[in-house]
Amino acid sequence: MTFVNTIITYLTKNGMIDEAMLFKPPFTNIHDQGLLGLFDNAQAAKVIKLIDGINENALVQQSA
């Protein structure tokens, strides 16, 4: 759950998250491989899909 909480904290501070960040600090502080060190490919794809949706919503909010 720590990884998910880190995503939430990052989004709260920054509004959006680039998928590449999931493989850099602070996410690699939890596991040195970031997202793929904690989740299998199917789960990681779901996390990325959720993040894409959040980013899309943030873009809509910014342009409104």
pLDDT per position as a tens digit, 4-35: 999 999 999 999 999 999 999 999 999 999 99
Distance, CA of 25 to CA of 32 (rounded, Å): 9
Distance, CA of 27 to CA of 4 (rounded, Å): 10
Query: Is the predicted pLDDT of residue 48 greater than 80, yes or no?
Result: yes
What local confidence, expressed as pLDDT, does residue 59 receive? 84
Average pLDDT over the chain, rounded to whole?
A: 94
Amino acid letter for position 59: L
Total residues belonging to the chain: 64
Instruction: Give the alpha-carbon dihedral of 61, 13, 37, 32, to 10 degrees.
Output: 140
* Residue 6 lies in domain: 2-63
With a pLDDT cut of 70, the percent of the chain lying above it is 97
Answer whether 35's CB lies under 8 Å from 23's CB: yes
pTM of the model: 0.85
Number of domains, the chain: 1
